[in-house]
Amino acid sequence: MNEKKKSRAVRLRRELPFHLMLLPAVILVGIFSYGPMVGIIMAFEKFSPKKGIFGSPFVGLENFRYLMNIPDIDKVVFNTFFIAAMKLALGVVVPMFVAILLNEVRLESVKKVIQTMVYFPHFLSWVILSGIFIDILSPSTGIVNEFITMLGFEPVYFLGDPKVFPYTMALTETWKEFGFGTIVYLATISGIDPTLYEAAEVDGAGRWQQTVHITLAALLPMAALMLILNLGGVLNLSFEQIYNLYSPQVYSTGDILDTLVYRLGMIDAQYGVATAVGLFKSVVSLVLVSFSYWFAGKVSGYRVF
């Protein structure tokens, strides 16, 4: 027993600095992530800023009943899942494909330049990118539509056509983030045993066959894991992207839960209903996160704890 106590004391002294380093992050998470959860009470109140959270009248599930009766709420939920599903799929496939292409570049200087170029959009905010996309996707003066008309086709109203808008959101989000996503796949490729390629080359396999049967085969488990883990955040769409690019004429296909919360809370001052929408989204996200981590553990043995 004394030996066990001594080993625990030694381990505690050794790990104490790491726990102290973690403490500021834990405090910040507690303040900014768990502290505001007191506001969930607003979902069950007819909230009044004058009376505050603890003074507003309790209305039970009335806000949720009102939410279910909002016109086109079914479309908003569908739009959320539809756009999120496209972003989820493209966010896995495109980075994996680009990582394979980058791996085939032999000149390190060229490879580094390309990596920097594709990583850079990740660090730009949607406030900046929205202005750029509004200009280049303009149906009259945008460079994209000028190219389309040169080919003999009619201009496409990317940000004003309800049929095109969801796909525009998925593609622009993928363009912004795919470079950063390639990091995971490039790291996976760097961990492949080089002797596998040497053995395949001795057996007469060409570069294409090596890529398909070795590189792609090694990436598929990681792609499946990333897909499963990202499933938990499927409802956390880029609010900044859609808010800065959509307009009332594309509400039918572009309005999502986050933008609905913004309009209900910030514009219509229906704080209780907006909180109810946010709580609904959080519960669904919790279920998806729990399922995705459970499934990841079953498929690939991934564990957080």
Residue 180: predicted pLDDT: 82
Domain 62-300 has what CATH class?
A: mainly alpha
Q: What is the pLDDT of residues 90-116, one digit of tens each?
A: 988 899 898 888 888 888 888 888 888
CA dist 281 and 292 (Å) reads 16
Q: What is the pTM of this model?
A: 0.80
CA dist 259 and 242 (Å) reads 8
- How far is Cα of residue 276 from the mean position of the Cα atoms in its chain? 22
Three-state DSSP state, 249:
helix
Domain coordinates in residue numbering, the chain: 2-44, 62-300
Give the position of tokens 């009332």: 248
Q: What is the pLDDT of residues 43-99, one digit of tens each?
A: 888 888 888 888 888 888 888 888 888 888 888 889 888 998 898 889 888 998 988
Two tokens, residue 90: 């493209």
Please, are residues 139 and 157 in contact by the beta-carbon 8 Å criterion?
yes
pLDDT at 174 over 80: yes
**End-to-end C-alpha distance for the chain, whole angstroms:** 27
Three-state DSSP state, 187:
helix
Phi, psi of 45, deg, nearest 5: -130, 160
